[in-house]
Structure 1
Amino acid sequence: MTIAPDDARRGASHVYRSMRDVVQSLDDADTVPGKFEITKKGIVHDMMAPIGPHELTTLHLRKRLEKVMPEEVVAHTGEPDVEDAYEGIMRRPDVMVIAWADMEVPESFDPRALIAAIEVVSRSNPENDWVGKMSDYPLMGVPVYAIFDPRTGTGAVLTDIHATPEGPRYAVRKDFVYGEDVTIGEWTISTRGLPLYRGDGAEKAGSSGV
């Protein structure tokens, strides 16, 4: 059987809507910890501890960015999702750098309205941040993707989306280690004192404050 492109797109759209309904019901139930996202490969469940290095890193990054950004730009955490229904992808970055004006939407954020998406690597599923989102975010049109990895005290900032045979990909990657300054979009912040994962689950951080 031959499936025409438009038929394939309609079929994919139907599958995406079904997955979106499942994710919405799980979010509404609020009985399963972590967050559910829809990728090009299906639903992914990212377990996150409510406290600890992951959430502390998110807090540090939000506060450090908002110290240097203009008032009309925020480092937003939480809902809503970032959604590209055409591509069948729905993500929820740990931090979304976005203008106040672009937050005034009835449902999900437009990924192309984001200035940057920032992820703190999950200890339970690091491939989601280092592999899945590295492919999904340029496909969605997110111009800057910054990754902070508390497992290793390293990270990367990816920019400059360009076309490849596998689809849109980031052309420029700047790696960093904790302790260095890092530039996300137009703003530079310190990475000193960001917490690290430890084998016992406790956090470890340097002496510098937020």
Structure 2
Amino acid sequence: MNEPIPRESTHAYRAMRDFVQAMDDTLPGRFEITKEGIVHDLRAPAGRHALTTLHLRKRLESVMPEENVAHAGVPDVEDEAEGIMRRPDLMVITWADMDVPGSFEPRTLIAAVEVVSRSNPDNDWVTKVRDYPLSGIPVYAVFDPRTGTGAVLSDIHPTPDGPRYATRKDFVYGEDVTIAEWTISTEGLPLYGS
């Protein structure tokens, strides 16, 4: 059960959210809010990052039922009680759960998929591994074009530090990977050049 966050924390979160929303179209890159504060990825996803995201979206949508979508883009996924606002590269969600005003409720996501950023890999491998189970996102898949590897994390369970993923299945590009209920190929996913 989530503890209510103190009033000052709610106020600080709302101030950060207002800042992020004001800066979104003003400064380059992407802003998100973590348990520690604001993360600014200076480089907007482009090139092989965007190409990997597109490959994954198309592969997932080819095996999922019609009522699901692998959505890329806005809005954010927001858990105000936890003080977290994220924008996964792909959100596996039903069409019905997308039909909401404002941000998506994280517990409506079937999975979050991230392509590791070259400029800030710890955001995908460390802070999102912590933040996504806190927000109740049941499956988190990470694809790392730096190394041609990745992992699918699932099975949220309680720990003294809060909810965490209990299961981690590592993979190497070229292997099939299962995200939630759907298995896709990782064959031919682009790698970052040197």
TM-score grouping bracket, smaller chain normalisation: over 0.9
Task: Structure 1: state its 5+ residue gaps.
Answer: 200-210
* 2: CA distance, partners of 1:149 / 1:46: 16
* 2: CA distance, partners of 1:33 / 1:150: 22
The alpha carbon displacement at 1:167 in A equals 0.7
Quick one: structure 1 residues 120 and 91, their matched pair in 2 at CA, closer, same or farther if it must change by over 3 Å?
A: same
Equivalent in 37, 52, 57 of residue 52 of structure 2:
57
The alpha carbon displacement at 1:100 in A equals 0.3
One-letter identity of the residue aligned with 2:90: V
Residues 1:24 and 2:31 aligned together: no
One-letter identity of the residue aligned with 1:24: Q
Please identify the structure whose Cα radius of gyration is greater.
1
After superposition, the C-alpha distances for 1:57-89 in whole angstroms (9 at most, x for unaligned) are 000000000000111000000000000000100
Structure 1 counterpart of 2:126: 131
The alpha carbon displacement at 1:159 in A equals 0.3
Structure 2 counterpart of 1:122: 117
* 8 Å CA contact retained: 2:173, 2:186: yes
Structure 1 counterpart of 2:70: 75
Structure 1 counterpart of 2:7: 10
The alpha carbon displacement at 1:50 in A equals 4.8
Structure 2 counterpart of 1:178: 173
* 2: CA distance, partners of 1:162 / 1:100: 27
One-letter identity of the residue aligned with 1:175: D
TM-score (normalizing by structure 2): 0.96
The alpha carbon displacement at 1:49 in A equals 4.5
Structure 2 counterpart of 1:193: 188
After superposition, the C-alpha distances for 1:94-119 in whole angstroms (9 at most, x for unaligned) are 00000000001000000000000000
* 2: CA distance, partners of 1:50 / 1:119: 11
One-letter identity of the residue aligned with 1:99: T
After superposition, the C-alpha distances for 1:28-80 in whole angstroms (9 at most, x for unaligned) are xx232221000000000113355311000000000000000111000000000
One-letter identity of the residue aligned with 1:113: T
TM-score (normalizing by structure 1): 0.89
One-letter identity of the residue aligned with 1:134: V
Moved over 6 A (4+): none
User: 1:157-172 residue pairs with structure 2 within 5 A?
Assistant: 157-172=152-167
User: RMSD value over aligned CA atoms?
Assistant: 1.2
Say how many residue pairs are matched: 192
* 1: CA distance, partners of 2:172 / 2:142: 11
* 8 Å CA contact retained: 1:47, 1:122: no
* 8 Å CA contact retained: 2:144, 2:150: yes
SS at match of 2:6: helix
One-letter identity of the residue aligned with 2:20: V
* 1: CA distance, partners of 2:36 / 2:184: 34
Identity %: 75
Task: Structure 2: state its 5+ residue gaps.
Answer: none
